[in-house]
């Protein structure tokens, strides 16, 4: 199959945006990597782009969307969101924010067990691209797919997105388990119970439960909750070692999206009566309301119930 070269603008020059740019560049696409520190204006790099990839942190997304609304973007331009977070103002997901701002455009979610540092080293990985516009998703699939990066497609963008969003909360909890040296049994129990909690939240948004069993749910959960390369895992690990959240953030390289996501999810869960025991304990940890040991005790002391 002959692949047509695409003009692609990647917004966000952090590790994730850079890794995505390199993957597409290896398939001979024209890549422009942009950040707020770039010499060119945002208008210059997106006006003729056939594909715009957003790899910015959640805190910068709303501002980015507002800037792009002032630019003449073609209705044929595909917008790919690779941001894994929740908006603190609207309590919404990145893909919903993009779709509201650009109704005519195809919005594609990219998410999976994709640790940027491993991808940049050329280690094999897999991901999912999801959209209600299947043709658009298949175009993005062809742009990134290679012998080292396997790309799957599905038509459940919200489920695919939430898998990547919610696992960051669970990664903080997993880091606490590791930091407290609670052992493999505890880690396995945590991850197994994390999955139905993620599915429960997904149902609120209308996601398909089976999506969470795939790469963007279970796959990303396993990768992020077992690797020291995960910034969210590191947050939990360091809290268990006795560091304050303020100290951890000062030392951190990049953004640990799980912190903001936890705050937003708890706000949503309280208003919509969604049962999220693990996220609630992570929230109390981050707020300093409980010690790591007390959080573990809270989870272990919950009312006994059937597994399914």
Rounded to the nearest 10°, the torsion over CA 117, 120, 124, 128 is: 80
The SS3 call for residue 304 is coil
Let me know how long the chain is. 308
Q: Could you tell me the two tokens for 241?
A: 């070692």
Instruction: Please name which of 87, 94, 123 lies closest in space to residue 110, comparing C-alpha atoms.
Output: 94
Active site residues: 167
In contact, 140 and 51? CB cutoff 8 Å: yes
CA distance 203 to 158: 10
Tokens of 145: 């797919």
| Paired residues of 30 in beta bridges | 7
Tell me which residue of 285, 268, 230, 272 sits closest to 252, measured CA to CA: 230
């Amino acid at each position: 199959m002959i692949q047509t070269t695409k003009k692609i603008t990647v917004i966000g020059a952090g590790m994730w945006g850079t890794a995505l740019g390199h993957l597409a560049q290896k398939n001979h696409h024209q890549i422009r990597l942009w950040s707020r520190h770039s010499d060119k204006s945002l208008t210059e790099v997106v006006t003729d782009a056939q594909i715009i990839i957003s790899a910015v942190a959640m805190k910068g997304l709303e501002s980015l969307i507002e800037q792009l609304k002032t630019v003449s973007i073609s209705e044929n331009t595909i917008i790919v969101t690779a941001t894994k977070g929740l908006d603190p103002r609207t309590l919404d997901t990145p893909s919903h924010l993009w779709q509201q701002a650009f109704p005519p455009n195809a919005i594609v979610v990219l998410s999976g067990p994709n640790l940027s540092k491993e991808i940049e080293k050329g280690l094999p990985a897999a991901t999912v691209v999801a959209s209600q516009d299947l043709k658009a998703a298949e175009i993005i699939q062809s742009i990134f797919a290679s012998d080292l990066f396997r790309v799957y497609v599905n038509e459940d963008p919200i489920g695919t997105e939430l898998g990547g969003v919610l696992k960051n909360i669970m990664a903080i909890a997993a880091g606490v388990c590791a930091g407290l040296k609670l052992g493999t049994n505890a880690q396995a129990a945590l991850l197994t119970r994390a999955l139905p909690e993620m599915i429960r939240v997904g149902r609120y948004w209308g996601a398909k439960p089976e999506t969470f069993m795939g790469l963007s749910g279970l796959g990303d959960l396993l990768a992020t909750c077992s690797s020291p390369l995960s910034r969210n895992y590191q947050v939990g690990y360091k809290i268990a070692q006795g560091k304050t959240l303020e100290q951890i953030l000062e030392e951190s390289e990049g953004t640990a999206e799980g912190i903001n996501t936890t705050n937003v999810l708890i706000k949503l869960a309280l208003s919509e009566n969604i049962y999220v025991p693990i996220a609630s304990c992570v929230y109390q940890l981050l707020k300093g309301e409980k010690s790591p040991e007390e959080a573990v005790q809270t989870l272990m002391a919950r009312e006994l119930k059937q597994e399914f």
